[in-house]
Amino acid sequence: MTGPIVELKDVFLRNDRGGHVFRDLNLTIEAGRSAVITGAAGSGKTSLAELLIGVRFAESGLVILFDEVMKRGKKRIIKRVRKKIGGVGGVFGLLPSLTVAENITLPMVISGVRKKIQQERLLKLLSEFSLLKQAGEYPPNLTRVESYLVQFARASIAGQPLIIIDEPSAGLDRKTYERIFEYLVKVSLSGRSMIILTSEIPSQQIPETDYYQIENGALV
Q: Can you tell me the distance from the alpha carbon of 80 to that of 148, in angstroms, rounded to the nearest whole number?
A: 25
User: Contact at 8 Å (CB) between 95 and 37?
Assistant: no
Q: Can you tell me the distance from the alpha carbon of 164 to that of 187, in angstroms, rounded to the nearest whole number?
A: 12
Please report the pLDDT score of residue 173 as a whole number: 85
β-pairing, 34-38 vs 193-198, is parallel
| Residue 151 Cα to chain centre, angstroms | 10
Single pTM value for the model: 0.94
The three-class DSSP label of residue 41 is coil
Whether the per-residue pLDDT at 1 is higher than 90: the answer is no
Question: At how many degrees (to 10) do helices 144-157 and 115-128 cross?
Answer: 140
The three-class DSSP label of residue 150 is helix
Whether the per-residue pLDDT at 106 is higher than 70: the answer is yes
DSSP string for 129-145: TT-GGGTT--GGGS-HH
Q: How many CB atoms lie within 10 A of CB 130?
A: 12
Whether the per-residue pLDDT at 17 is higher than 90: the answer is no
Segment 73-90, tens digit of pLDDT: 999 999 999 999 999 999
Cα angle 173, 45, 86; round to 5? 70
β-pairing, 218-219 vs 85-88, is unpaired
User: Contact at 8 Å (CB) between 195 and 35?
Assistant: yes
Segment 141-154, tens digit of pLDDT: 999 999 999 999 99
Segment 154-211, tens digit of pLDDT: 999 999 999 999 988 777 888 888 888 999 999 999 999 999 999 988 878 999 999 9
